[in-house]
Amino acid sequence: MGRVVAAALLACILLPVACVRGRNITTILSGYKEYKLYNKYLSETKVCDEINDRQSTSMTILVLRDAAMSTLVSDAGDSLPAIKNALRLLAVLDYYDRKKVKKYGGERADTLFQATGDAVSATGNVRVTDVEDGAYGFASATAGADVSSVTKEVKTQPFRFAILELDAPIEFDGLFDTPSTANLTRLLERAGCKTFATLVAGNPGVLKDYEAAMETGLTLFAPNDAAFMAKGGVPDVTKMSSANVSALLRYHALPAYYPKPSLKAVKKDAALLTLAAKKTISVKANGDDVGLEAGGSKSRVADTVVDKAPFCLMTVDKLLVPAELAVAQAPSPAPAPAPSTSERRPADAPSDEAADHAADHHKAKKSTSSDSASSRPVGAAFAAAVGSVVLAAAVL
C-alpha cells in the first residue's frame, strides 16, 4: 500500500514537468479562434519552434487577437523577417501573471528577440508594468515606449508557463529592421566560406536557383574553407566537371526554411529533400548539437550567419558529398608498371644476349661436327694400317 501511495505522489510531482516538456504552442493556440492569425505567423516564421525548444525555460507568451495582429503585420510592411522580430519580442523568457506583478512590481525581462534575434543592448528587452486598478502590461524597454495592457490571462501554470493576451503589439523604432541579403556571395565570404562563395559565383544557374528560393524558402549549409582542405573523402573541386560542381552546390541547400531550432524538431531519421534532384539529407540532433548526414558523409551545423525568414544561412564544418558523387570522384587505381623485357619472357626463355651466345655456340658445334665427320675415313685407314703391322710382327 505504501508503495502505491509513493508512486501516486511521485506521479503528481512529475506530471506538471512532463506537461511542460511536451508543450507545443501552436497546438495550444489552435483551440482559440481569436488567435488564428497570430498562430499562423508563429508557424510561418518558425518562432513556434524556438518557443517549443525551450521546454525547461519559464516563459510568458504575449498573444494578439486577429485585429491587433493585423496591425502588427501592417506596421511590419508584411515582411516575414520583420514580423518574426516582433513575435520574438512577444516571447518573454520568464513567468508572469497578475499575482506575481502585483506582489513584486514591474521589472525588465529578456525575450527571444534579445536572445536569438538582431537586438542591440536593451532594445530586445521588455518592461513589465504594474498599473492601477489591478491591471498590468508590457512595453519595450526603450524610453517612452507605450504600454500594451494585458486583457486576458489565457493560460497559466504558475512560475512555469503563461499565455497572456495583449490589447496591442509591442513596438519600437528599429524593431522591423532586418539584415540585407542582397549579395549572397558577399555574405558567404564574410562568414568564412570563400571557397564555397567562389564556386557559387562561378555557377550562375545555381546562384539563380538560390536567389529564387530565398523568396519562398531556402536553408543553405555553407561549408567553411577548412572543409575543402580536409583529408579523406573530400573531392578536389578543381578537377570536378561543371555538372558535378553544380550538383554538389545544390546538395547543400534545402528548398524550405529550417532555422536551427526547426532542424532540432525534425523527426529522427527523417529525410529532407535538397535542391539536388531527388537527393536527401538526414538530421541527427543531440541537445543543441545538430549533425547532418548524406551518403557516407557527415557534417555539423557550426553557426547561424543569417536568419531572415524564409531564408537561413548556416555554416557547416564538413562537405556533404552524395554517395554517387563520392564514387565518381574516387581516385582511379594507379596503372601497373610496364614489365621489363625479361618479365615479358617466359621463365625458361633465354635472354636476347643468351640467345645470341647459344646461336654462336650451335654454329661452332655444327662446324666441329662436320670437320669430325669428314676426317673420320682417314683416321680409320690409318688405324687399320697400324693394326696390320702389329699383327704381322706378332706372327714373326
Instruction: Give, for all 396 residues of the chain, the pLDDT tens digit.
Output: 444 334 433 333 333 333 334 789 999 999 999 999 999 999 999 999 999 999 999 999 999 999 999 999 999 999 999 999 999 999 999 999 999 999 988 899 999 998 876 666 567 899 999 988 889 999 999 988 999 999 999 999 999 999 999 999 999 999 999 888 989 999 999 999 999 999 999 999 999 999 999 999 999 999 999 999 887 768 889 889 999 999 999 999 999 999 999 999 998 878 999 999 889 999 999 889 999 998 778 999 999 999 999 999 999 999 998 877 765 554 444 455 555 544 444 444 444 444 444 445 444 444 444 444 443 443 444 344 334 433 333 333
In a domain, residue 287? The reply is yes
Helical pair 194-201 and 204-213, crossing angle rounded to 10 deg: 100
Q: Please check whether residue 363 lies inside any domain of the structure.
A: no
Q: Helix axis angle, 80-89 relative to 66-75, nearest 10°?
A: 120
314 and 189, same structural domain? yes
Assign 271 to helix, strand or coil: strand
CB 155 within 8 A of CB 28: yes
Q: Are residues 133 and 241 in the same domain?
A: no
**Is residue 191 situated within a structural domain?**
yes
Element (H, E) at 185: helix 184-190
- Whether residues 23 and 70 share a domain: the answer is yes
* Pair (239, 129) in one structural domain: no
Tell me: do 45 and 90 sit in the same domain: yes
Residue 370 lies in a domain: no
Regarding whether 125 and 75 lie in a shared domain, the answer is: yes
Can you give the residue range of the structural domain that contains 305?
184-328
C-alpha grid cell, residue 150: 494585458
Same domain, 194 and 295: yes
Tell me whether residue 253 is in a domain. yes
Ordered alpha helix ranges (H), the chain: 2-21, 25-29, 36-45, 47-52, 66-75, 80-89, 98-104, 112-116, 184-190, 194-201, 204-213, 242-250, 260-264, 323-328, 341-344, 352-395
CA distance 318 to 221: 10
Residue 14 to residue 83: CA distance in whole angstroms: 36
Strand arrangement, sheet containing 280-286: 253-254, 218-223, 311-316, 297-308, 289-294, 280-286, 271-273
- What CATH number does residue 295 fall under? 2.30.180.10
Domain end marker among 309, 328, 347: 328
Same-domain status, 281 and 136: no
CB 114 within 8 A of CB 124: yes
The model's pTM: 0.75
Q: Are residues 210 and 319 in the same domain?
A: yes
Is 348 within a domain?
A: no
Question: Residue 123 falls within a domain, yes or no?
Answer: yes
Q: Which residue, of 328, 345, 364, is where some domain finishes? A: 328
Q: Are residues 264 and 160 in the same domain?
A: no
The grid coordinates of residue 185 equal: 556571395
Distance, in Å, from the CA atom of 305 to the CA atom of 130, rounded to the nearest integer, reads 38
pLDDT of residue 383: 41
Whether residue 157 is found in the same domain as residue 225: no
| 154 and 280 assigned to the same domain | no
In whole angstroms, what is the distance from residue 145 CA to residue 123 CA? 11
Q: Which pLDDT does position 329 carry in this prediction?
A: 54
How crowded is the C-beta side of 130, counted as CA atoms within 13 Å? 11
Provide the number of structural domains found in the chain.
Answer: 2
Residue 327, number of CB atoms within 10 A of its CB: 11
CA-based R_g, the chain, Å: 43
Distance CA 30, CA 36 (A): 7
Closest CA to 104 of 125, 135, 140, 128: 128
Q: Report which residue type is found at 293.
A: E
- The residue among 300, 328, 356 that closes a domain is 328
Backbone angles phi, psi at 87, to 5 degrees: -70, -35
Domain assignment present for 128: yes
